């Protein structure tokens, strides 16, 4: 038993944490949030140069990591800094699907930071279900609508799921393809997404099925849990500092027992969240991986809500303002529950898998 | 024990319902339903409609031009108005300053300011909180120094709701720096067009502009704008806060919110069935509904005590705590119900951005609302302060 990071992962964590602390403060992020693209091309290039994108891929795929703990280390730091660049969707989810399809030339470009991807799987009434696809493929032409597609406007290629007969398959669609319409909008917690419609749009079959999508989705779940954990760490740290400095009634408010105990509860729950992320990353290749992942995502969803709400409440009014760091961090934490299945979805899936 | 309304109250309910059906502009109701920002015009238009009917100042005595409704009538109106998606009456003049002027103001102040509230000449906002004085309101630092016929005011107020629309602000200011905290405070009325008054917007975490900072630099305020006696402002403020606290349970909005959640969850698909039929989600909704039913009755019990002439003390604090928790829980259910479509964000900064945000469940910005309503347990005396009051009163025999 050993809960220490390997030397390589420790280095990756230190490097990324230092870089983001120096380069990704509240002020710079606010500018990025207000920008038209919703993310910074400079930050993206620098993340690639630091090896952050490469850490998401195995050596066979041209990277130098790719395991559950590589992913959790990277995303915990991105979450801690409230990074809005689409590392999860463009590099991890999109990149690992292309890697699974053997598209090594494209994967190389992803790792180098030169290629952006979007994964268009969910549909307007699919909610969080993975097997609910109404988009159809016929003779390599795709028709249908995809909902809340992250990073769609910036993507050079979209990976689109569609029903080919009875089975779901994945296709590569070029951003300039005919019949492709992308209606973009900003997101509450930063970044951009779009409603994507395809009307007889040509797509190249990737030779991937729903099972391949589910495999990539497992990695995304690890990443999303770790990102939320990092954001929770920031939220609790900000709250702790505030409780020790804010004076009301002639003393720091953290000296009021009612607040001190609630702060302690947050710290207890934060350790639960950390263990849940370790479970998610550590059991990523286990035969019961889905059970572990659902357990983790459910727990992160519950604790995330508690941490976000309590951090805001214990701060008071200041945390309600957009310019205060916690406002963005709290939004990242809560909105994480709206991706890859929410608390209830994973509770149900946990029950179903436990019974199986 | 009788849980039903009297025949007179039932008739009143019908009258209110009919009035809302006839007079509430549809486009305004639709904005309220979808939690879109109302313009100043929207709010003034609704005030004018209510004023024509004599229903704008609902709690004022008829001698001041009020409707002089009973607590039960006010409750009936609140419930019907929330269900019909009527805008909330901007409370700063009618619920807060009005009663203070009626009790502590001079005849001249009453004759001058009260009619101007009713006809919409003045839009009032509240200058209480300061950056260093939130929950600990009595530690406020804004100073007013007497200079001949004027006070010279310096300092800063914050969280001033709808201050961007206001032309008048009532303020708590320190007039005796040497007195004990609560004893050196006065209650004054300041014209916001006076040189030295500056309003700066505070953008909230959901991107909305509803609160402001108000800065005072050598602002000259005529002494006749002092309400009551100098250094007695804390007494008036406490009186005002008891008015602010009635109706804080927000039962009407919670009921409307829960109805919206059910509608959204009925339309939302989960595994080929409406989300509302999903046992986990249905259980969450039922739990809140059960709590809300009990709270509605708690609310009525307090109202009927108030109607019998007893001042709500502790109960107001209890209602505020429970009411805010329930409304926040309903906001949480709404964002859950919407699923991935809770993530898109309609930025007010971008004209027409609303139209481009996908909203297949016709839910409005539920995630933004979820974050915005975190304020319910913070403002007007945070839930921690309310719990402190409850504990102090029940365990030591006096506040």
Could you read off the pLDDT of B285-343 as tens digits, one per residue? 999 999 999 999 988 888 878 777 776 678 888 999 999 999 999 999 999 999 999 99
Segments making up each domain of chain B, as ranges: 7-89, 122-232, 246-396
The whole-angstrom separation of Cα B88 and Cα A21 is: 44
Q: Which residues in chain B have their CB less than 8 angstroms from residue A334's CB? A: 335, 367, 370-371
Please, which contacts does B353-358 make with residues 24 or more away whose CB atoms are closer than 8 Å? Answer: B353/A185, B354/B36, B356/A183, B356/A185, B357/A185, B358/A124, B358/A147, B358/A148, B358/A183, B358/A185, B358/A195
Interface touch B367/A319, C-beta < 8 Å: no
Which residue from A minimizes the CA distance to B181?
A249
Pairing, β A157-164 against β A204-209: unpaired
Token pair for A330:
């709290």
Q: Which residues in chain A have their CB less than 8 angstroms from residue B207's CB? A: 322
**How do residues B152-167 score in pLDDT, each as one tens digit?**
999 999 999 999 999 9
Give the residue from B135, B343, B379 with the most A CB atoms within 10 Å of its CB, the best one to mutate: B343
Residue spans of beta strands (DSSP E) within chain B: 124-127, 143-147, 150-157, 168-174, 185-191, 197-203, 209-222, 226-227, 269-270, 273-274
CATH 3.40.190.10 fits B122-232, yes or no: no
Residue B240: per-residue pLDDT = 78
How distant is the alpha carbon of residue A99 from its chain centre? 19
Token pair for B121:
């000449």
Q: Which residues in chain A have their CB less than 8 angstroms from residue B382's CB? A: 313, 316
- The CATH class for the domain spanning A212-355 reads mainly alpha
Beta-carbon contacts of A325 under 8 Å, excluding residues fewer than 6 positions away, are: A26, A82, A234, A238
Q: Which has the closest alpha carbon to A294: A232, A356, A244, A242?
A: A356
Interface touch B341/A147, C-beta < 8 Å: yes
- CATH assignment of B7-89, given 1.10.287.130, 1.20.1420.30, 1.10.540.10, 3.30.70.890? 1.10.540.10
Interface touch B340/A128, C-beta < 8 Å: yes
**Confidence class for position B35, pLDDT limits 50, 70, 90:** confident
| Alpha-carbon gap: B121 to the closest alpha carbon of chain A (Å) | 31
Residue B83: per-residue pLDDT = 93
Among A62-66, A278-282, B34-38, B347-351, the minimum mean pLDDT is found in: B347-351
**How do residues A148-205 score in pLDDT, each as one tens digit?**
999 999 999 999 999 999 999 999 999 999 999 999 999 999 999 999 999 999 999 9
Supply φ then ψ for residue B185, to 5 degrees. Answer: -105, 135
| Alpha-carbon gap: B15 to the closest alpha carbon of chain A (Å) | 39
Per-residue pLDDT at B247 exceeds 80: no
Cβ atoms B328, B374 nearer than 8 A: yes
Per-residue pLDDT at B224 exceeds 70: yes
Average pLDDT over residues A36-57: 97
Name the DSSP class of A51. T
Q: Which residues in chain B have their CB less than 8 angstroms from residue A188's CB? A: 206, 342-345, 367-368, 371
Cβ atoms B354, B346 nearer than 8 A: yes
Average pLDDT over residues A294-312: 98
The whole-angstrom separation of Cα A93 and Cα A88 is: 6
Q: Which residues in chain A have their CB less than 8 angstroms from residue B357's CB? A: 185
Residue B40: per-residue pLDDT = 95
Per-residue pLDDT at B351 exceeds 70: no
Sign of CA dihedral A167, A173, A177, A181: positive
ipTM of this complex: 0.96
Q: Which has the closest alpha carbon to B310: B250, B244, B241, B242?
A: B242
Per-residue pLDDT at B399 exceeds 60: no
Average pLDDT over residues A22-44: 95
**Confidence class for position A101, pLDDT limits 50, 70, 90:** very high
Token pair for B235:
């007494």
**Is B96 or B220 the better-scoring residue by pLDDT?**
B220
**Confidence class for position B70, pLDDT limits 50, 70, 90:** confident
For residue B157, the SS3 value is strand
For residue A83, the SS3 value is coil
Closest CB to A322 among B205, B343, B358: B205
Residue B397: per-residue pLDDT = 57
Token pair for A199:
């009307």
Cβ atoms A304, A317 nearer than 8 A: no
Interface touch A127/B270, C-beta < 8 Å: yes
Per-residue pLDDT at B182 exceeds 90: no
- CATH assignment of B246-396, given 3.50.50.60, 1.20.140.10, 1.10.150.120, 1.10.287.810? 1.20.140.10
Q: What percent of chain A is predicted at pLDDT more than 70?
A: 100
**How do residues A149-162 score in pLDDT, each as one tens digit?**
999 999 999 999 99
Burial call A122-138: b when 16+ CB within 10 Å, e when fewer? bbbbbbbbbebbebebe
Average pLDDT over residues A259-287: 97
Residue B304: per-residue pLDDT = 79
Which residue from A minimizes the CA distance to B207?
A322
Q: How many CB pairs under 8 A join A and B?
A: 136
- Residue indicated by tokens 């039913």: B293
Q: What percent of chain B is predicted at pLDDT more than 90?
A: 74
Average pLDDT over residues B334-356: 80
Residue B339: per-residue pLDDT = 96
Per-residue pLDDT at B229 exceeds 90: yes
Average pLDDT over residues A73-99: 98
Residue B242: per-residue pLDDT = 66
Which residue from A minimizes the CA distance to B210?
A321
Q: What is the CATH number of domain A117-208?
A: 2.40.110.10
Average pLDDT over residues A216-226: 98
Segments making up each domain of chain A, as ranges: 7-111, 117-208, 212-355
Q: Which residues in chain A have their CB less than 8 angstroms from residue B344's CB? A: 148, 185-188, 193
Pairing, β B197-203 against β A136-138: unpaired
Task: Supply the mean pLDDT for chain A.
Answer: 97
The fold of the A7-111 domain, in CATH, is: Butyryl-Coa Dehydrogenase, subunit A; domain 1 (1.10.540)
Compute CA distances B291 → B164, B197, B245, B301, B321, whole Å: 37, 45, 20, 15, 13
């Amino acid at each position: 038993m050993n809960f220490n990071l390997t030397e390589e992962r420790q280095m990756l964590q230190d490097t990324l944490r230092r870089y983001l602390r120096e380069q990704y403060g509240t002020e710079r992020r606010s500018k990025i949030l207000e920008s038209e693209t919703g993310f910074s091309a400079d930050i993206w290039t620098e993340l690639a140069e630091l090896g952050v994108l490469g850490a998401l891929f195995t050596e066979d795929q041209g990277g130098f990591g790719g395991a559950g703990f590589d992913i959790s280390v990277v995303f915990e730091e991105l979450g801690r800094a409230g990074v809005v660049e689409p590392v999860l969707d463009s590099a991890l989810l999109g990149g690992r699907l292309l890697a699974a399809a053997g598209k090594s030339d494209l994967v190389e470009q992803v790792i180098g930071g030169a290629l952006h991807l979007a994964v268009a799987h969910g549909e307007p009434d699919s909610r969080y279900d993975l097997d609910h696809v109404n988009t159809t493929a016929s003779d390599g032409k795709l028709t249908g609508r995809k909902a809340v597609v992250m990073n769609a406007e910036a993507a050079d290629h979209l990976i689109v799921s569609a029903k080919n007969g009875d089975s779901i398959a994945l296709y590569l669609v070029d951003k300039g393809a005919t019949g492709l319409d992308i209606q973009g909008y900003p997101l509450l917690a930063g970044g951009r997404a779009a409603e994507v419609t395809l009307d007889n749009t040509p797509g190249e079959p990737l030779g991937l099925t729903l099972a391949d999508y589910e495999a990539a989705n497992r990695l995304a779940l690890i990443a999303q849990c770790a990102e939320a954990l990092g954001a929770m760490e920031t939220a609790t740290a900000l709250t702790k500092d505030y409780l020790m400095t804010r004076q009301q009634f002639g003393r720091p408010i953290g000296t009021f027992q009612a607040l001190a105990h609630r702060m302690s509860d947050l710290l207890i729950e934060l350790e639960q969240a950390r263990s849940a992320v370790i479970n998610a990353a550590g059991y990523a290749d286990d035969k019961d991986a889905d059970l572990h992942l659902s357990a983790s995502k459910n727990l992160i969803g519950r604790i995330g809500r508690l941490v976000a709400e309590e951090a805001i409440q214990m701060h008071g009014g200041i945390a309600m303002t957009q310019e205060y760091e916690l406002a963005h961090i709290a939004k990242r934490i809560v909105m994480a529950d709206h991706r890859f299945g929410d608390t209830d979805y994973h509770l149900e899936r946990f029950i179903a898998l436990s019974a199986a | 024990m009788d849980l039903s309304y009297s025949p007179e109250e039932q008739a009143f309910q019908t009258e209110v319902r009919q009035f809302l059906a006839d007079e509430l502009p549809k486009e305004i109701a639709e904005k309220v339903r979808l939690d879109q920002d109302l313009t100043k015009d929207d709010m003034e238009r609704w005030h004018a409609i209510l004023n024509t009917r004599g229903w704008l100042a609902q709690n004022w005595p008829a001698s001041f031009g009020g409707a002089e409704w009973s607590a039960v009538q006010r409750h009936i109106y609140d419930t019907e108005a929330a269900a019909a998606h009527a805008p909330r009456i901007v409370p700063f003049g009618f619920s807060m300053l009005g009663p203070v002027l009626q009790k502590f103001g001079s005849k001249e102040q009453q004759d001058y300011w009260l009619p101007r509230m009713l006809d919409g000449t003045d839009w009032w906002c509240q200058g209480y909180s300061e950056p260093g004085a939130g929950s600990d309101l009595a530690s406020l630092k804004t100073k007013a120094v007497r200079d001949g016929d004027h006070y010279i005011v310096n300092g800063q107020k914050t969280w001033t709701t709808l201050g961007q629309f206001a032309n008048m602000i009532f303020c708590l200011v320190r007039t005796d720096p040497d007195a004990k905290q609560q004893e050196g405070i006065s209650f004054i009325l300041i014209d916001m067009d006076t040189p030295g008054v500056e309003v700066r917007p505070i953008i909230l975490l959901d991107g909305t502009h509803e609160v402001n900072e108000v800065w005072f630099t050598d602002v000259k305020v005529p002494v006749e704008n002092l309400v009551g006696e100098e250094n007695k402002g804390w007494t008036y403020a406490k009186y005002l806060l008891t008015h602010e606290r009635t109706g804080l349970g927000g039962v009407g909005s919670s009921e409307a919110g829960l109805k919206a959640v059910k509608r959204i969850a009925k339309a939302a698909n989960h595994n080929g069935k409406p989300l509302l039929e999903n046992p986990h989600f249905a259980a969450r909704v039922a739990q809140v509904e059960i709590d809300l039913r009990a709270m509605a009755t708690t609310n009525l019990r307090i109202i009927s005590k108030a109607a019998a002439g007893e001042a709500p003390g502790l109960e107001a604090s209890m209602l505020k705590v429970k009411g805010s928790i329930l409304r926040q829980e309903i906001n949480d259910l709404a964002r859950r119900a919407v699923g991935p479509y809770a993530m898109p964000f309609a930025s007010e900064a971008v004209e027409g951005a609303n139209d481009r945000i996908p909203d297949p469940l016709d839910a409005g910005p539920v995630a933004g609302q979820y974050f915005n309503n975190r304020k319910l347990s913070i403002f007007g005396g945070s839930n921690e302060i309310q719990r402190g009051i409850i504990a102090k009163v029940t365990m030591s025999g006096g506040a």
